[in-house]
Amino acid sequence: MTDLDGLRRRIDDLLRGIEGELAAAGLARADLFTGMRQRLHAPVRVALIGRVSSGKSTLANALLGVERAPTGIRELTYHVLWLRYAERTALVAHLTDGRAEPHALRDLESLVARARHDADPAVRDYLASIAYLELQDPNPHLARYDLIDTPGLDSYFGEDSRHTLDFLGMTPDQVRGASVARAGDADAVVALFSRGLARSEEVLLDEFAAAGLDSASPLTALGVLTKIERYWPAHDPLAEGRRVAGRIMTRPLARRLLYDLRPVASLVGAAAGTMTEADIHDLAALRHLDEADLTARLRFGPDFVSQAWPGFPVSRDRRAALFRRFGGYGIHLATRLVRAGAGDHATLRAQLTEASGLGSLRRLLVEHFGDRAAWIKLQRLAFEANTLPARFAGDARERAVFERELGRLTQLLVTEHTFEELAVLRLYYEGRLNLTAEQGEELLRVTGQRGHSAASRLGLPDGAGPRELAGRAAERLRCWSALATRPNDGDSRRAARAVRRSYEILLAAG
């Protein structure tokens, strides 16, 4: 079986060797390879992308369980915010001229989001000079992957936002450009579709094309259907969200771009992480009301907040606070859970996290991006290696040295079976392989997409013994050998040969 960590170490050694050779030859471009080497070991970078106000910052907060990224209808995110794990909290502004400046955490909102129109020109110039912001945070959810909250990808901004952009001397294209650059620089993406935007395949395609990410593939892209609370009260939001997402995922284009599309009530998920004892006290007071009556009041949000209802168990101020954080559906759901016995903070938080779809999304992110980090990094490396020749500038002698060294890396990419598996997986997701559904699933399994152990790759239970493993590998090897010689189309034959080789490696390792 391919030892991904071993492969990473070998690539690391090779890249160090290349850096040494380039330095010895007096070439200053060793940094191209150093950057690749560092990325190989860093956590997977996951960018949240989507249109303006699709809920990216709210989802970032929900995933972290704390309010970090500024959100809101009028709180447009102007700068990319890179959230990454560190033992101590620190905020750093990376400027377009390459400098990095530390800031106090309390500056975050004014740096990332809507700037004040009355700020002085020096502040304005400073804001406009920020390339991106980096927030280091000991948040446990960041231990497995970095999160990158990006500005919306629209090329058209509403009037309010446009004023602020004008004020900052920035254009929508610049903001969009920063998002696309960061998303392209990320290892993986979570694409957000707010409920109303996910209606058709064409729209889905537009969203991705607008993002400049039509090369996304299920290996590294997940979708999230947000704002599903709007299905309520006509439907149960999560059930309806699953139905809508399932329908979208039957379309070939969606399957080619996304591994899965998950519905999440992010506002409720975020509230689960940030709710206070006072919130729980109020929700407990609401549980005595008739459920139909409470629903009727909650449906019209502004009424719930502003009406003077004598004798209502929660004051107007507190209703406003609850509504802002939970939304109407969130209050309904939380009250229902309290009524069913979730009285304490930890229980209610856990149940809201699950009922909002956030728990399932968190697990999927760890599974698909955290546990497959080595895979994702190797895929990224192969992609970057292809871009290197275009990024190298030098005279003929320097280019000759560079190409000789790059050739050592390319040689490894061509001969190492893991990269052939990656190439074949891409063909599979692009719909170019003539395989049955079972053969497709077997391809995913044997290449480690369903788990890394030999048993998972062979579709056997975890405790399977060496004889059983070897027997299964030999049997599948025979079957795929037959497929590999079939004179069908070239891509499918290539895939069958790759699978055959994967079984040979598993058999040899057993």
Ligand X SMILES: Nc1nc2c(ncn2[C@@H]2O[C@H](COP(=O)(O)OP(=O)(O)OP(=O)(O)O)[C@@H](O)[C@H]2O)c(=O)[nH]1
Binding site for ligand X (CB under 6 A): 50, 52-58, 71-73, 75-77, 151-152, 226-227, 229, 265-267, 327
Least separation in angstroms between residue 233's CB and ligand X is 13
Q: What backbone phi and psi angles, to 5 degrees, belong to 28? A: -85, 0
Residue 357 contact, options Mg ion, ligand X, none, Cβ 5-8 Å cut-off depending on partner type: none
Please report how many Cα atoms fall inside a 13 Å half-sphere around the Cα of residue 16, on the Cβ side: 6
370-429 residues in contact with Mg ion (CB under 5 A) are none
Least separation in angstroms between residue 200's CB and ligand X is 21
Q: How far apart are CA 432 and CA 425, in angstroms?
A: 10
Instruction: Write out the E strands in 112-180.
Output: 130-137, 145-149
Least separation in angstroms between residue 71's CB and ligand X is 3
CA distances 261 to 64, 152, 198, 332, 365, Å, are 20, 19, 11, 25, 12
Q: CA angle 66-369-256, nearest 5°?
A: 120
Q: How far apart are CA 99 and CA 92, in angstroms?
A: 10
Least separation in angstroms between residue 232's CB and ligand X is 9
Cβ proximity to Mg ion: between 71 and 351 the closer is: 71
Q: How many residues sit in the footprint of Mg ion (CB under 5 A)?
A: 3
Residue 265 contact, options Mg ion, ligand X, none, Cβ 5-8 Å cut-off depending on partner type: ligand X
Least separation in angstroms between residue 381's CB and ligand X is 30
Cβ proximity to Mg ion: between 57 and 220 the closer is: 57
Q: How far apart are CA 189 and CA 145, in angstroms?
A: 11
Least separation in angstroms between residue 188's CB and ligand X is 18
Which residue's CB atom is positioned nearest to ligand X?
Answer: 55
Query: What's the gap between Cα 323 and its chain centre?
Result: 28
185: enclosing H helix or E strand: helix 172-185
Number of neighbours of residue 134 by Cβ within 10 angstroms: 18
Short-list 63, 208, 84, 64, CA closest to 146:
84
Least separation in angstroms between residue 195's CB and ligand X is 8
Q: Pairing between strand 145-149 and 44-49?
A: parallel
Least separation in angstroms between residue 48's CB and ligand X is 8
Residue 52 contact, options ligand X, Mg ion, none, Cβ 5-8 Å cut-off depending on partner type: ligand X
Cβ proximity to Mg ion: between 56 and 195 the closer is: 56
Interface mask toward Mg ion for 59-98; x: CB under 5 A: ------------------x---------------------
Residue 447 contact, options ligand X, Mg ion, none, Cβ 5-8 Å cut-off depending on partner type: none
158-177 residues in contact with Mg ion (CB under 5 A) are none
The helix-helix angle for 490-509 and 437-446 (nearest 10°) equals 40
Short-list 124, 90, 82, 94, CA closest to 107:
90
If one asks whether residue 57 binds Mg ion (CB under 5 A), the answer comes out as yes
Cβ proximity to Mg ion: between 56 and 472 the closer is: 56
If one asks whether residue 439 binds Mg ion (CB under 5 A), the answer comes out as no
Q: How far apart are CA 130 and CA 186, in angstroms?
A: 19
Residue 237 contact, options Mg ion, ligand X, none, Cβ 5-8 Å cut-off depending on partner type: none
Residue 53 contact, options Mg ion, ligand X, none, Cβ 5-8 Å cut-off depending on partner type: ligand X
Take residue 78 and report the two structure tokens written for it: 């102007």
Cβ proximity to ligand X: between 33 and 193 the closer is: 193
Q: How far apart are CA 160 and CA 59, in angstroms?
A: 23
Chain positions contacting Mg ion, by CB under 5 A: 56-57, 77
